[in-house]
Structure formats: structure tokens, C-alpha cells
Structure 1
Amino acid sequence: MATYPARSGVNAGVDTALPVALDRRAGVPLAVQLADALRDAAATGHLRGGDRLPSTRALAGRLGVSRTVTSAAYEQLHAEGWIAGKHGSGTYVTTTPPTGAPQRGTVPEDDADGDDLLALVPGVPWADGIERAAWRRAWRAAADTPPSQQTERAGLTAYRAAIAEHLLRHRGLMIASASVLATAGTTSAVAELASALFQPGDVVAVEEPGYQRAVQAFLAAGLRVVGVPVDTDGVVVDAIPAGAKAVYCSPAHQYPMGSRMSATRRVALVERARAEGFLVIEDDYDGELRFDVAPLPLLAGLAPDVVVHLGTTSKILTPTLGAGWLVAPRGVADTVLTYRDRTGTRPSPAGQRVFIEFAHSGDLGRHLRRVRREMSERRQLLVGALGEAGIEMVGDDAGAHLVVPLRSADDERARLRAARQHGIVLDGLARHFADKPTAYGIAIGYAGCSRNELHDAVGVLVQVLTRQG
């Protein structure tokens, strides 16, 4: 156990040393330890009413912990009435602490400041891992390109070529660049397909649980969405309703459960699509991020005649680019282009230009190698800690999130609330169902934070997920 002599400025201008003892090996989260230490200092008179506390950022730096730890501790003490914030001035110890024993270790959900919460949710990329020099080079090179005089509805020619090269190198899909259409991302591509290919009232089958933004895009186009269950082998093909016009799925890494579609299911899905004439919309949102084996083959490679493949830069790089891609049978691609001509829509070329430069320089390949290595190590950290605590997990060794199954909706809500009270935002499975939820659990994302923040949060996660009742 180490003792950190933090310093706290007082109104009178006198600095007061705070003997804060934080023990990373203890079973108590660091935020709880810090709140206890500051509370005891106020209760014993070491801190007096009117003393000004350091900012959460400054105190985190002095203690060598993440800001999540200090923010959660301050929120707890504020809720109990031991400290109060003054706008534009700082945080101060109150003159008269509340009576009665304080309830330690919790932060009321409604009082928590979202800016101070650590979001460990799926679907967030490791944007901080992008090398800043490479990022600047790509933008400078993109800015050197003369402004366009014509609208390219299919996307920039160089971008489509870069995507074809990317799919060959990182996803094993050999296609001509003419087969690629640029998009503004997965949800945008789904919305285009829904409006261009189908009629209101058509049935589209989706994974249940699954990606709800895609579901909403289908619904906005007037389509009827039917949920199809998923298991450890992926979407249950036999449960796809007769008469469906399309099936939307994420076979390489099912979202959010994290399973992969088995070879048997892939063949069955393709054979049924061909026999019944429906399209398979393959969302490959993070197919490049697999650690245990090489990236899984795409359905588009198995059956390019009935599969529309979707990809995005938002999970492997950043949503800043607003760029994605679509690979589809010729008739589908032509229909989408006709829709774009009719509506005057097109994906923005700015993000496409940056991606072109990022790929041509080799920085994209280097970044993906770093991401895979970093996400693998982060996953090992989480799996090791949760496994040692006897916590069950599901999902393949891939991507940037894992799932802890739970027994009930009440259990899920309670653990989400408990995590938030400790300064961490998690994601529940219930919201990923288009219909009534049939499974519950916690989806933990580990890309949208620093390694230190994740390390500090592990103890809280273990405590929240092992708490009884």
C-alpha cells in the first residue's frame, strides 16, 4: 500500500497535506478509497469548512490515477454533502457536514456529471491510438487535392480503389474497384438500401439482439422488421420468416453477443437466400479486429450474387471521417446509384480523401496492426480479471467488447446503475432487442478509454458484476 501526500489549497492561502492511502491490491475500488480518505479528513478536522480542493484532473495527476477515480470520489462526497462546487471557482469543503453516517461507495445516477463518467461501451473505436503525425500527414495530403467540379455519386475513384485494396489485404475479398460504392457509414448505407430496394411493408429479418440503428433505418423506410434469434453459431437460419426480402446480420462478429457464424450456418443462409430470392446484408463493422485466428472469410466472398457487404471506417479508425463502403451485386449497386441521382444524395468526399492518403502511405496497415495488438492485450486484462472472479463471459476473441450474461432485467438494471454510481457507464443487452428482450447482460467496451483508465476500472467492474442482489 502506498501513501500519496496530496496538497489542497485553502481559502486563507495555506496548503494542507492530505495523507491519502490508496491500495491497488485491495478489493475496494480506488474511487471508494479516495472518497473515504477525504471524508475522514473532513470529519476529523484535517479539512475544514471553506477549504478548497484541487480539481479532479490535478488530484488525479498527483495520485497517479485516472480522472475517473477522482471524479467518482468527488461526486460521492458532493452527493453526501461533504463538498460543494462553486461555479467558476472550484470545489470546497462544506461548513457543516450532514448528520448521520454517510452511505459510502455510491453516486446517485441522476447527479452524476456525464463528462466525468468513463464510458466502457461497445461500438467506440480506439481513436487515441491513431498516430498524430500520420493523421496530420493524411489531412495535409488530402488538402493538396484540387476541389472537385463534378459530383461522384459512387464515391471518389481513388477511394473505391483504396477500399478494394483494403478488403483484399485485410478481409481476403478480391473484387474490382468498380464493385465498390462509397457510403457515409453503415447506418447510412442501410437507410439507402431500405429506401432504394424495398417497398413499404416488405419484411426484413434482423438479428435479435442486434444493431438497433439499422433496425430504425429499416423502420423509417416503412419496412416491417422481424427479429430472428441468434446463438453461439450466429443467426438461426431456420427462424427466418418466409417471404422476407432481406436478412441483416453481422456474421464475422455478431453485434452485440460477439459470436461468429459457423460455416454450416453460412452455407445454409446462402442456400436459402438463393432459393427464396432474398438479399443478405452483411455488416462487417469490425471484421479486421480478430486476435485468435486470421479474419474470417466474408459472406460476400462466398456468395457475391446474393450478399451486400457493408463496412465502415468508424470502428477501425474514427467516426470523424464519416466514410464507409458497400459491395453489392451489379443490379443492387445500380439501383442505389439511381436512388442517389433521384434524391441528389451522395457521401461526402472529404473523409474519403483522408482515407485514401492514410491507406496509400501505409499508415492504415500499421494502425490496424497496433489496434489488434492493443485490443488483444486489453481483452486479456479484462478476461483475466473477470475470469479470476468467476464471472461468466461470452463472445469470440475478437473486436473491442465482451458480454457478461445475467439472469434478469432487474439484475441488468441494478448492475448498470451500480457501475454508474462508481463513475462508469456500461451497456445492457436489453436495449439491443427490437422486440421483447429474451436475454440480459452487460456489454463492456474496452476501446474508448486509455489503458490506465481500463486498469483502474477493472476493480469496479469485478465488484459490480459479483455483487449479490
Structure 2
Amino acid sequence: MAGPLPLDFGRPLVDLPPLPLDRTAPRPLAVQLADALRAATADGTLRAGDRLPSTRALAATLGVSRTVTAAAYDQLLAEGWAQGRRGSGTYVVGAPAGPPRVRAAVAPARRAEPAHVDLSAGAPCVASLDRAAWRRAWRAAGDAAPDVEPDDVGLDAFRIVVVEHLLRHRGLPADPADVLATGGSTSAIGELARTLPAGARVAVEEPGYQRAVAALRDAGLDVTSVPVDAAGLVVDALPTGLAAVYCTPAHQYPTGSRLSAARRVALVERARAEGFLVLEDDYDGELRFDVAPLPLLAALGPDVVVHLGTASKLLTPTLGVGWLVAPPEVRDAVLAARRRSGGRPARAGQRVFAAFGVHGDLARHLRRLRRELAGRRAAVVTAVQAAGLAVEGDAAGAHVVVPLPDAATELAVVRDAAARGVRLDGLARHYSGTPAGAGIVLGYAGPTGDELERALPVVADVLGRP
């Protein structure tokens, strides 16, 4: 611990209270001992400044190995309940400061209100994550030695797993040298935006992913909105003079449509003819339930398309990791910017993702995730249809759109659901300008299965009201 504590280190050795240890219990003796000492400190039996016996003396008193007492002391030192002083011994610090205790007889606890079930779009389905595989990946990641030098590109092991994932699940052949690690899709958009000339014009989908819009604007770019319809981005509506187009072609966010084959070809041809980049955000392209995942724009136009992927929707945002596959000059520009600024993706999430993929856990998780989300989508569609409404969007991803007649109805549905413990996502917030439509973007990945089952009758009821 940094700096001395205001304790009386001259106190004599304290007489410890009884410290019962149950050798038949499944809990380790060191854990039992640490709990007993911590409890004695918390209830005042041991006071701040009391000197504890040495690990050897305490081990002899209790009839246990010195390994047990040393481990217990180490735990208390790490938690801040005790402090070691070289040449003097181990001293009680006392319970860390916390909120004052409130007697139940004086202020009876109020019954907790149930938390809202959040059906907003964008959350991953962590309920489908195999926790044993998750822990195994973190342990494997922890075996690596601490880094000495920063890394601008990304770990080799991470990029190899990404390449295998892209080939098997997205049909994109790539070399590890083509891949840059990122901090996720939004972070990568911000990095790419800063490589474009200040004030350059970039087109985005409307409605669309507003964090991407914010990242582009924060970089000083001129952002222009282009409409989407049932066939995705309206390519014919793109203005001239663009530096880039940001889009979500495999599963348009938030409408759920896919960019048609004809428009894919038209977009790539215009990018080549007019010299702009296409930023392809493939945030959940692996998650299709009706047909095989759609081919990537990057496979059609690798010379003009920057492919962006993320672990956030596949696994969890905890990892804070994604990937970028781009033409060489774009990768070089991103790397140059990283070296100038010192900003780069952290390696910890890359190590965990790589470990998750090495032994097939990532592929198994993806199969399980598709089954889980397909079942949840079916339940959502049934609930919406019970209200006499329909859903829009492909059989893919983790959300659907429920069209509504007007903005007033959208606000009323969101308000009524919130009053009954369900948080819904209105379509209006996904527009940069004046909303051209109304509806609910209904996410079904984030809640647990029980929460979703509890929320769907509420959704059906509020949607079905006249």
C-alpha cells in the first residue's frame, strides 16, 4: 500500500479471538481463516493497529500448515484489511470505509421495484454464452506474459482467428496481414474518419446507426443522410463528391433490410468510378436464420471496401475488440494515425477472443447463438402478430421493427410499456433529421429468457391498444 497509515505500530501482539476451522468443510482452510479474521475486524474484536501473530506462530496455534496462514494473510493484505510492515509484522487496518449501517427497526427496507426489462436494440445475447468456455478463454489469455512494447496492428493469434472466422462464416478470404485489430466498430469508424480530409463529405443511411454518425461528425466531416427502403441503401440517391459511404448492407440498422444484389454491384461500381470508400459495418452479419449469411461487399470490391467486424454482438462488449479489413493504403493510413496519436486497441480482449476461437469454442457458440436467437425472434413475431401487427426486417440478427402509424402512437407505446416495466426503443431516435416513419425497434437478445417471456405479453398489449 502506498504511504504509511496512521497506526500505532508499537502495540504488543494481540490475543486473537477463537478462530474455528472446519476441516470437513469443502471451503479451503485459508478462506475460512481469512473470513474469521475479517469478521473479527469488522465487529471490533480486532482493532485498527493490532499486531497479528506471525504466519508461523498462528499456524502452530491452529495446527495447520504455514501455507494456510500465509494465504489468509495475503488475502487480507490484498483487500486492505491488514498491512505489513517490514521487520515489524502484520497489523490490522480495519474495515474499509463504507456507507453507514441502517437498523431495519429504525428504517424498514422498502420492497424493491422490479427492474425494467430492456428490449432496446443493440444488446448481445450473453445468456447463450458457455461460461465454462468463457472462463477457459480468460485463463488461457492470462498465461501470456505482460507486454513490454505497444502493438499498433494486433496480435498474430487474434488476426489468425479473425481470418478463419471471416472465411468460414462470412465467405471472405483474407490474409492475417490484411487485418487490423480495432476497439470495435464505432472506434474503427472514428479512426477511419480521421484519415479522411477535414470537411470531406460522407454519406450515411437514414435511419441508421447514430453512433457512427457522431463519430464521423466528431472527426470534422460533412455527414449527409441517404434514405433506405426494403432493398437497403438507395444507391441512386447518393450525391456526388463523396469521400466515403457508411452502410450496414447485410442487415441494415435499424430497419433490418438487406442491400439487394443489384444495389451492391451499383455501389461498388460507383465507388470505383468516383473514388470514394465504402465502410461496410457487418455488426451481426453472421446471425441469419433463413439462409446462409449474405456475401460481403468486401468480397465484391476489396479495392474500395473497408470491412468492419466486432465481437460485441457475437460475444460481449466486455472484450472491446473488433477488426478491420481494408485496402493497403487505408490500413497504412490508420497505422500512421495510431503511431502519431499513440491510440491503439488493447491486447487483453484480443487474447481472450483468440483463445475462444482456437479450440472451436467460437464456432460452437455461434451455432448455439443462432438457435437461441431464432427461437426468440419467433416468440417476438408471435406476440406482435397477436396484437394484430406485423414485423419488418429479415430473419436475422437480434431485433425486428414494428411499424406504427405515426409519431404520437410511437411515443404512447413507449410510455405505456415503460409504465409496466418494459423499456422499448422508438424508431425516431435512429434518425439524424426529421423522422420519416414511426415504429418500435424491438430487441430480443439482451434480456434473459425468463425476462423476455415476462415482457412479451406487455408488448402485445400496448401494441394492440387502439
Residue in 2 aligned with 1:271?
269
Indicate whether 1:358 and 2:377 are aligned.
no
Contact 2:202-2:244 within 8 A present in 1 as well: yes
Residue in 2 aligned with 1:172?
171
Residue in 2 aligned with 1:143?
142
Count of equivalent residues:
363
Please state how far the C-alpha of 1:204 moved relative to its aligned partner. 0.4
Please state how far the C-alpha of 1:221 moved relative to its aligned partner. 0.6
Equivalence map 1:237-386=2 (5 Å): 237-386=235-384
Which range moved further: 401-410 or 297-306? 401-410
Amino acid corresponding to residue 189 of structure 2 in structure 1 = V
Which range moved further: 385-394 or 121-130? 385-394
Amino acid corresponding to residue 261 of structure 1 in structure 2 = L
Please state how far the C-alpha of 1:458 moved relative to its aligned partner. 1.3
Amino acid corresponding to residue 147 of structure 2 in structure 1 = S
Indicate whether 1:124 and 2:115 are aligned.
no
- TM-score, length basis structure 1: 0.76
Structure 2 SS opposite 1:170? helix
Taking a change above 3 Å as real, the CA distance of residues 268 and 88 of structure 1, as seen in their structure-2 partners, is farther
Equivalence map 1:448-463=2 (5 Å): 448-463=446-461
- Distance in 2 (CA, whole Å) between partners of 1:86 and 1:280 is 65
Please state how far the C-alpha of 1:157 moved relative to its aligned partner. 1.3
Structure 1 SS opposite 2:375? helix
Amino acid corresponding to residue 211 of structure 1 in structure 2 = Y
- Distance in 1 (CA, whole Å) between partners of 2:184 and 2:105 is 42
Structure 2 SS opposite 1:427? coil
- Distance in 2 (CA, whole Å) between partners of 1:378 and 1:444 is 11
Equivalence map 1:88-103=2 (5 Å): 89-91=108-110
Amino acid corresponding to residue 145 of structure 1 in structure 2 = A
Taking a change above 3 Å as real, the CA distance of residues 234 and 88 of structure 1, as seen in their structure-2 partners, is farther
Please state how far the C-alpha of 1:86 moved relative to its aligned partner. 10
- Distance in 1 (CA, whole Å) between partners of 2:309 and 2:323 is 5
Please state how far the C-alpha of 1:88 moved relative to its aligned partner. 6.5
Structure 2 SS opposite 1:182? strand
Please state how far the C-alpha of 1:149 moved relative to its aligned partner. 2.0
Residue in 1 aligned with 2:193?
194
Please state how far the C-alpha of 1:294 moved relative to its aligned partner. 0.5
- Distance in 2 (CA, whole Å) between partners of 1:139 and 1:361 is 13
- Distance in 1 (CA, whole Å) between partners of 2:384 and 2:223 is 36
Deviations 1:377-422 (A, max 9, x none): 0111111222233212100000000000112111111111011011
- Distance in 2 (CA, whole Å) between partners of 1:325 and 1:192 is 12
Residue in 1 aligned with 2:226?
228
Equivalence map 1:406-445=2 (5 Å): 406-445=404-443
Deviations 1:275-329 (A, max 9, x none): 1011000000001110000110000001000000000000010000000000000
Deviations 1:314-367 (A, max 9, x none): 001000000000000000000000000011111000000000100002111111
Contact 2:386-2:460 within 8 A present in 1 as well: no
Taking a change above 3 Å as real, the CA distance of residues 312 and 387 of structure 1, as seen in their structure-2 partners, is same
- Distance in 1 (CA, whole Å) between partners of 2:224 and 2:234 is 13
Taking a change above 3 Å as real, the CA distance of residues 449 and 277 of structure 1, as seen in their structure-2 partners, is same
Deviations 1:164-206 (A, max 9, x none): 111011111111010000000011000000012x122111000
- Distance in 2 (CA, whole Å) between partners of 1:218 and 1:400 is 25
Amino acid corresponding to residue 140 of structure 1 in structure 2 = R
- Distance in 2 (CA, whole Å) between partners of 1:402 and 1:349 is 34
Residue in 1 aligned with 2:184?
185
Amino acid corresponding to residue 261 of structure 2 in structure 1 = A
Deviations 1:91-133 (A, max 9, x none): 37xxxxxxxxxxxxxxxxxxx97x7111011110011221111
Contact 2:204-2:247 within 8 A present in 1 as well: yes
- Distance in 1 (CA, whole Å) between partners of 2:437 and 2:409 is 11
Please state how far the C-alpha of 1:451 moved relative to its aligned partner. 1.4
- Distance in 1 (CA, whole Å) between partners of 2:453 and 2:261 is 36
Taking a change above 3 Å as real, the CA distance of residues 415 and 139 of structure 1, as seen in their structure-2 partners, is same
- Distance in 1 (CA, whole Å) between partners of 2:277 and 2:250 is 17
Equivalence map 1:201-216=2 (5 Å): 201-216=199-214
- Distance in 2 (CA, whole Å) between partners of 1:199 and 1:408 is 39
- Distance in 2 (CA, whole Å) between partners of 1:365 and 1:222 is 39
Structure 1 SS opposite 2:306? strand
- Distance in 1 (CA, whole Å) between partners of 2:105 and 2:310 is 44
- TM-score, length basis structure 2: 0.76
Amino acid corresponding to residue 349 of structure 1 in structure 2 = R
- Distance in 2 (CA, whole Å) between partners of 1:353 and 1:141 is 8
- Distance in 1 (CA, whole Å) between partners of 2:261 and 2:106 is 59
- Distance in 2 (CA, whole Å) between partners of 1:87 and 1:392 is 53
Contact 2:184-2:321 within 8 A present in 1 as well: yes
- Distance in 2 (CA, whole Å) between partners of 1:449 and 1:160 is 31
Contact 2:387-2:463 within 8 A present in 1 as well: no
- Distance in 2 (CA, whole Å) between partners of 1:128 and 1:378 is 12
Taking a change above 3 Å as real, the CA distance of residues 463 and 86 of structure 1, as seen in their structure-2 partners, is farther
- Distance in 1 (CA, whole Å) between partners of 2:106 and 2:156 is 52
Structure 2 SS opposite 1:292? coil
Which range moved further: 184-193 or 145-154? 145-154
- Distance in 2 (CA, whole Å) between partners of 1:88 and 1:124 is 37
Residue in 2 aligned with 1:67?
none
